[in-house]
Structure 1
């Protein structure tokens, strides 16, 4: 059996699912894209090549091995984008929840069936069909669970709105002892600089009581302010609209002290080192062209 334990985003990582770029398929058609940034790169002829993305993911794999983390990979589905393992499931405490993902991505979920089937049956949850949720919107944080959502009337028209209020309520019901705090995210099908695809695209809690945040990613200023107050203004690294677009908030913590970050995030990486973190820099800019980065490509299973 596979043991699960995820209480927060920063405790020492022991096992993780890392997505795969193998057999990623041809450049998608614009009408088949799920986010505005991918569309931008398809139009510009700069959509990432499979070989480059495999190299980038291998760099992360090497970092995990350096820190003695057990790495699982999805089973490879031919011509299928399986990079973003965070979308397909998530773990809170010792429970694995399968994400109700965009309908035409269900194949991706089945690529980790071999892991799902090794989890105790009473620890596997599939939410009701009307609950839409992806792991990028869900952040366990000790006695809190932070969840990104969108409740506008135009929710059905926004392919960038991935987690609905029904899912927020269902997660609260599953974890009655935790404080579930939801945040309305800014969504755009057309402008990647005005689109927080998931909560981890505009916010990420780090070790040592620190956090990264982008104010414009939040539709409700008081909700943004709540997070700043929760962590304390001096502990928060504010990123610009362009930095959000480059996915500065989407780093990944191996422990309270160690963070994997993109090597071009010079302003952020300098700040992280100034705060006493060890920063493991990797090339991830090609993967970032699909509006996802390090947190999006990882599904943590066990942290100490």
Structure 2
């Protein structure tokens, strides 16, 4: 059985599910795009190809091998995008939650059945109520805190990029009454990726013990940004620009408190990380980023120290 344990984003990683770009399928039709960044590249003829994305994911896998992390990969579903495992499930403490995701992506979850079979039934939660929506990219752990990105505006049903709803937040709040569950209303757009925080990890992510990457304009309410600013301390925040948010600078991934995997083109961020004592494992991931997801999106952590 897997001894699930995830309490934050940065403790030493021991086991993870890493997605796969193998048999990723053809370029989607515009009406099938899940997000505005993918749509932008579909129209531009620059949507990423399997032959370019597979090496990027294998570079990520090689970093995990370097640090002795147990890596699980999904079984291949033909012509299915299985890169972003963060969307299909997430672990809080020692409990695995199956996410309620877009119906078009239901084929992805059975592909990790070999992982699920190692989880005790009492530690596996499937949300039966289909009106409760929550995805792993919106759930960020920081010890006693659970930060959750959401979208609470009346047009939620019409916004394809609105993923976690207020019922999803309440579900986690009820499940963990002793945690501080804090929700953040995110800026959404179906047309402009530079103004779309698809998930909370697209505009905020802790690194190390007390620092975080943040995009102030990703929050609908300035008070939400100010809450995080005051909690972490402004001197511990790396503020990214609109373009850096679009490039997914906040979607890096921590293997340990002092080790961050980052995209090799994130020059300003990577320099800041090194200046603050982090080891930065730089890899190419620019093709995968065209689908509005990056390193954190591609992972589903199972065990951290």
TM over 0.5: yes
What is the aligned partner in structure 1 of residue 7 from structure 2?
Answer: 7
The 10-residue stretch of structure 1 (146-155 or 127-136) with the greater mean CA deviation from structure 2: 127-136
Q: C-alpha offsets along residues 176-203 of structure 1, whole Å, 9 cap, x if unaligned?
A: 1101000000000000001000000000
Q: Which residue of 1 aligns with 2:84?
A: 84
Q: Report matched runs for 1:1-304 at 5 Å.
A: 1-127=1-127, 128-304=129-305
Give the superposition deviation at 1:113: 1.8
Mapped to 2, the partners of 1:75 and 1:130 lie a distance apart of 28
Give 1:219 deviation, angstroms.
0.2
Query: Residues 197-241 of structure 1: CA distance to partner in whole angstroms, max 9, x if unpaired?
Result: 000000000103110000110001001110011100000000000
SS in 2 for 1:27: coil
Structure 1: 5+ residue runs without aligned partners?
Answer: none
User: In structure 2, how many angstroms separate the alpha carbons of the residues matched to 1:293 and 1:82?
Assistant: 13
Please report how far the alpha carbon of residue 51 of structure 1 lies from its aligned counterpart in structure 2 after TM superposition: 1.0
- 1:228-287 alpha-carbon deviations (Å, 9 max, x no partner): 111000000000000000000000000100000000000000000000000000000000
Q: Distance in 1 between matches of 2:116 and 2:151?
A: 28
**Distance in 2 (alpha carbons) for counterparts of 1:41 and 1:302:** 35
Secondary structure, in 3 states, of the residue corresponding to 1:81?
A: coil
Q: 1:95-118: CA deviations, max 9, x gaps?
A: 000000001101111111221121
Given that 2:84 and 2:297 are in contact with CA atoms closer than 8 Å, whether structure 1 keeps it comes out as yes
Match of 2:238, SS state, is strand
TM-score (norm 1): 0.99
Q: Is the 8 A contact 2:10 2:209 kept in 1?
A: no
**1:21-60 CA distance string (max 9 Å, x none):** 0000000001001000000001111110101100000000
* Rounded Cα–Cα distance in structure 1 between residues aligned with 2:74 and 2:263: 23
2: CA distance, partners of 1:51 / 1:119: 34
Find the residue that maps to 2:141 and give its secondary structure. strand
CA distance in structure 1 between the partners assigned to 2:209 and 2:150 by the alignment? 27
Give distance in 2, aligned partners of 1:158 and 1:173.
26
Stretches of structure 2 lacking an aligned partner (at least 5 in a row): none
- In structure 1, the residue corresponding to 2:14 is in which secondary structure? strand
Q: How far apart, CA to CA, are the structure 2 residues paired with 1:175 and 1:191? A: 35
Partner of 2:28, secondary structure, is: coil
- The Cα of 1:147 is off from its aligned counterpart by 0.2
SS of match in other structure, 2:163: coil
Cα RMSD for the two superposed structures: 0.6
Following TM superposition, the consecutive aligned residue runs of length 4 or more in structure 1 with deviations greater than 2 angstroms are none
SS at match of 1:237: strand
What's the offset of the Cα at 1:2? 1.5
